[in-house]
């Protein structure tokens, strides 16, 4: 590959920006693994993000299955209480910091430049740094398996996480994970913001930007707003543990509640960081497969921004049972209620998008349509939890476990799988197997509901979360057995998709440039896209530029297959 520079700033004498490509000279292209190690290409970084995050997804899933095995029957003896607390902590931390948040960056990395008609991210090297920081964070964290994993949950509440109670280095590994993945996300977020603000195709005004790009933009701003708080908090925890400070230590004049405020000031926006891009993904998929424009584009984009803003104001609804005055509880109940309005708007707009469509039932649509169906359950239970007197009963029980999995698995992960099935042909040039895809969907869908629906009832019967054992006379034995069976179904469903990916990567049907009749610019380029993405960046005239291009081609009387740009030489 030649070293190329996008001298986008070459302003002509008339002051208009004129993109130019300047070649300084030819360097031999690194081959094999070195090419991947040194790459700054957003698509290769995106692929590496996908591979890394899915490995962590599998690891986190295995941790969950061990926990479910332990809980299948009362008085389980599979793991010790310490190991169980370790599994709780690693599962939560892995899924949040090493899977859902970075996999959204994977989608963003690969598809934001393609969707906005850019040739790469604004800062390709920062982009590589972002990925390698994530890998370092994952390694630093999983290295704790060789000494002692953290045992304070993904929330690491003080004083439990202080050195007096958990002197092992697991908590320190967790702290470094937060710092490294936090930096990774922060650098990535700045990169997304710079890219989206500055590198959109000619004609792509804010009102014509794909909704997925909107969601990544908001995701990035939320990360920038929330991450510094947690970075400060874990640094304070680190000095509490090792350098004799007492920020959170009540015996030294500190305050354990401070940790909870700082943690959740980050932690709740983090939930929207994880869910908004999934909303963005299905806002792309639903219109394509119902052959209809998205219903209420402006409403969905505005709702995304509103959710993000309100998401910064609801953190203490995680703290309804702490010693806090009633007026504060009321404020956070009302702010949490308020966030249900824009979320509801989104769901109604998605249904309206399907309404009077001509819905093509391909695998991406299955996963995309399942998202609102499952998320609405998590949304409704979220409103129930926001009513703080009710929360006093439900807080920290399996009801909350069920709620958060309906939001983060039923919402985020089904969205991620929808995106994977939708964009796999673009990334690899090959189609995934529809049969395996639909099988995977149904096994996952049934397994997911078996696992988590009954957990509502377990929580209502008084089963707290994060316990390695429960009494037979608590009346939750059946729920737990059903949940365990469901979790293994869910695992098999995920495994079928993994097999599908591995098989289709080599043997899938050749996809062509635009297998789904997509609406956005990534379908304009070849599959997989060439290194420079676009030889010619098309002018964008609507929110569905590919539809316009198809229409023009049809008008010119050319076959529909010739829509995408011609194959660039040398790729």
Told to judge if 461 belongs to the known catalytic residues of this protein, a careful annotator would answer: no
Catalytic residue among 161, 283, 335, 497: 283
Q: List the end-to-end C-alpha distance of the chain, in Å, as a whole number.
A: 9
147 lines the binding site for another protein (CB under 8 A): no
Give a three-class secondary structure readout of 148-216.
CCCCCCCCCCCCCCCCCCCCCCHHHHHHHHHHHHHHHHHHHHHHHHHHHHHCCCCCCCHHHCCHHHHHH
Residue from 387, 446, 481, 485 touching another protein (CB under 8 A): that is: 387
Cβ 549 to another protein, closest distance in Å? 17
Told to judge if 522 belongs to the known catalytic residues of this protein, a careful annotator would answer: no
Q: Burial code of 450-472, b = ≥16 C-beta within 10 A, e = fewer?
A: bbbbbbbbbbbeebebbebebee
Site map 110..129 versus another protein, x via CB under 8 A: --------------------
Of 99 and 375, CB closest to another protein: 375
Please identify, among the stretches 124-132, 139-147, 249-257, 434-442, the one whose residues bind another protein according to the rule CB under 8 A: 249-257
157 lines the binding site for another protein (CB under 8 A): yes
Q: How many chain residues are in contact with another protein, going by CB under 8 A?
A: 83
Query: Which residues inside 316-355 make contact with another protein, applying CB under 8 A?
Result: 321-323, 326, 333-334, 337-338, 340-341, 344-345, 347-349, 351-352, 354-355
Told to judge if 184 belongs to the known catalytic residues of this protein, a careful annotator would answer: yes
Residue from 151, 181, 363, 520 touching another protein (CB under 8 A): that is: 151
* Dihedral sign for Cα atoms in the order 447, 450, 453, 454: negative
Strands 21-26 and 2-6: antiparallel
Catalytic residue among 154, 315, 422, 470: 154
Query: Which residues inside 484-523 make contact with another protein, applying CB under 8 A?
Result: none
Cβ 248 to another protein, closest distance in Å? 10
Among 45, 368, 90, CA closest to 191: 45
Long-range contact set of residues 544-550: C-beta below 8 Å, sequence gap at least 24:
544/287, 544/293, 544/519, 544/520, 545/201, 545/204, 545/208, 545/519, 545/520, 545/521, 546/514, 546/517, 546/518, 546/519, 546/520, 546/521, 547/519, 549/524, 550/517
Cα separation, 56 vs 100, in Å, equals 10
Cα separation, 153 vs 165, in Å, equals 14
Catalytic residue among 43, 68, 346, 426: 346
393 lines the binding site for another protein (CB under 8 A): yes
457 lines the binding site for another protein (CB under 8 A): yes
Site map 396..435 versus another protein, x via CB under 8 A: xx--------------------------------------
Of 62 and 376, CB closest to another protein: 376
Site map 197..236 versus another protein, x via CB under 8 A: ----------------------------------------
**Count of Cβ atoms closer than 10 Å to residue 330 Cβ:** 11
Number of residues that make up the chain? 571
Catalytic residue among 395, 465, 547, 550: 465
Cβ 112 to another protein, closest distance in Å? 24
Told to judge if 53 belongs to the known catalytic residues of this protein, a careful annotator would answer: no
Please identify, among the stretches 35-43, 50-58, 467-475, 480-488, the one whose residues bind another protein according to the rule CB under 8 A: 467-475
Beta-bridged to residue 23, according to DSSP, are 4
Residue from 241, 403, 456, 550 touching another protein (CB under 8 A): that is: 456
Task: Find the angle CA(305)-CA(516)-CA(511) to the nearest 5 degrees.
Answer: 125
Catalytic residue among 42, 68, 91, 456: 91
Cα separation, 537 vs 116, in Å, equals 9
Residue from 3, 11, 18, 165 touching another protein (CB under 8 A): that is: 165
Told to judge if 395 belongs to the known catalytic residues of this protein, a careful annotator would answer: no
Cβ 208 to another protein, closest distance in Å? 13
DSSP string, 290-320: HTSPPTTHHHHHHHHHHHHHHHTT-GGGG-T
Residue from 39, 53, 85, 412 touching another protein (CB under 8 A): that is: 85
Catalytic residue among 343, 353, 363, 487: 343
Please identify, among the stretches 172-180, 221-229, 248-256, 406-414, the one whose residues bind another protein according to the rule CB under 8 A: 248-256
Q: Decide: 116 and 200 in contact? Cβ < 8 Å.
A: yes
Site map 267..306 versus another protein, x via CB under 8 A: -----------------------xxxx-xxxxx-------
Please identify, among the stretches 209-217, 390-398, 404-412, 416-424, the one whose residues bind another protein according to the rule CB under 8 A: 390-398
Told to judge if 91 belongs to the known catalytic residues of this protein, a careful annotator would answer: yes
Residue from 168, 203, 228, 256 touching another protein (CB under 8 A): that is: 256
Told to judge if 346 belongs to the known catalytic residues of this protein, a careful annotator would answer: yes
Catalytic residue among 270, 391, 514, 522: 270
Cis peptide before 159 (omega within 30 of 0): yes
Task: Find the angle CA(233)-CA(52)-CA(47) to the nearest 5 degrees.
Answer: 120
Told to judge if 6 belongs to the known catalytic residues of this protein, a careful annotator would answer: no
Site map 352..371 versus another protein, x via CB under 8 A: x-xxxxxxxx-------x--
Of 195 and 397, CB closest to another protein: 397
Q: Decide: 291 and 360 in contact? Cβ < 8 Å.
A: yes
Cα separation, 192 vs 110, in Å, equals 11
Of 273 and 313, CB closest to another protein: 313
Cα separation, 346 vs 302, in Å, equals 10
**Count of Cβ atoms closer than 10 Å to residue 329 Cβ:** 20
Query: Which residues inside 53-82 make contact with another protein, applying CB under 8 A?
Result: 80-82
Q: Decide: 199 and 286 in contact? Cβ < 8 Å.
A: no
Residue from 460, 495, 553, 568 touching another protein (CB under 8 A): that is: 460
Told to judge if 89 belongs to the known catalytic residues of this protein, a careful annotator would answer: no
Q: Decide: 223 and 189 in contact? Cβ < 8 Å.
A: yes
Question: Could you list the active site residues?
Answer: 91, 120, 154, 184-185, 268, 270, 272, 283, 317-318, 343, 346, 465
């Amino acid at each position: 590959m030649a070293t190329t520079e996008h001298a986008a700033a070459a302003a002509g004498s008339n002051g208009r920006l004129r993109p130019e490509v300047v070649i300084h000279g030819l360097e031999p292209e690194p081959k094999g693994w070195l090419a991947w190690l040194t790459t700054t290409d957003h698509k290769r970084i995106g692929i590496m993000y996908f591979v890394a995050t899915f490995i962590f997804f599998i690891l986190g899933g295995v941790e969950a299955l061990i926990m479910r095995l332990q809980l299948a029957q009362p008085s389980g003896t599979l793991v010790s209480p310490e190991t169980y607390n370790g599994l709780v902590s690693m599962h939560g931390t892995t899924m949040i910091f090493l899977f859902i948040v970075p996999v959204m960056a994977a989608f963003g990395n690969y598809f934001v430049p393609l969707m906005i008609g850019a040739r790469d991210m604004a800062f390709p090297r920062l982009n590589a740094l972002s990925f390698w920081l994530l890998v370092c964070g994952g390694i630093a964290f999983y290295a704790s398996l060789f000494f002692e994993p953290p045992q304070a949950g993904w929330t690491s509440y003080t004083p439990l996480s202080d050195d007096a109670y958990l002197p092992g280095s697991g908590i320190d590994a967790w702290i470094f994970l937060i710092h490294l993945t936090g930096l990774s996300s922060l650098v990535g977020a700045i990169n997304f913001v710079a890219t989206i603000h500055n590198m959109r195709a000619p004609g792509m005004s804010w009102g014509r930007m794909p909704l997925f790009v909107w969601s990544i933009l908001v995701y990035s701003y939320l990360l920038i707003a929330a991450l510094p708080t947690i970075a400060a908090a874990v640094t304070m925890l680190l000095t509490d543990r090792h350098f004799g400070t007492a920020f959170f230590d009540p015996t030294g004049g500190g305050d354990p509640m401070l940790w909870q405020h700082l943690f959740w000031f980050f932690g709740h926006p983090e939930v929207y960081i994880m869910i908004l891009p999934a909303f963005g993904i299905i806002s792309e998929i639903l219109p394509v497969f119902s052959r209809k424009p998205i219903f209420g584009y402006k409403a969905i984009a505005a709702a995304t921004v509103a959710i993000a803003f309100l998401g910064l104001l609801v953190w203490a609804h995680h703290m309804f049972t702490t010693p806090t005055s009633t007026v504060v509880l009321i404020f956070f109940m009302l702010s949490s209620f308020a966030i249900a309005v824009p979320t509801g708007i989104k769901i109604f707009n998605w249904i309206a998008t399907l309404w009077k469509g001509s819905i093509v039932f391909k695998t991406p649509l299955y996963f995309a349509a399942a998202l609102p169906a499952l998320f609405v359950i998590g949304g409704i239970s979220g409103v129930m939890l926001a009513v703080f007197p009710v929360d006093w009963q439900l807080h920290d029980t399996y009801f909350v476990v069920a709620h958060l999995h309906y939001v983060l698995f039923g919402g985020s992960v089904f969205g991620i799988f929808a995106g994977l099935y939708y964009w796999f042909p673009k990334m690899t040039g090959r189609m995934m197997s529809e049969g395996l895809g639909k099988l995977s969907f149904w096994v996952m869908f049934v397994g997911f509901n078996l696992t988590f629906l009954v957990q509502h009832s377990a929580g209502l019967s008084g089963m707290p979360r994060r316990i390695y054992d429960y009494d037979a006379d608590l009346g939750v034995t059946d729920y737990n057995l059903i949940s365990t069976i469901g979790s293994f179904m869910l695992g098999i469903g995920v495994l079928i998709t993994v097999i599908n990916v591995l098989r289709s990567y080599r043997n899938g049907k050749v996809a062509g440039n635009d297998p789904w009749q997509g609406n956005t610019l990534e379908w304009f380029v070849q599959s997989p896209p060439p290194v420079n993405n676009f030889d010619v960046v098309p002018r964008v005239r609507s929110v569905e530029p590919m539809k316009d291009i198809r229409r023009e081609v049809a008008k010119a009387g050319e076959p529909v297959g010739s829509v995408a740009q011609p194959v660039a030489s040398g790729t």
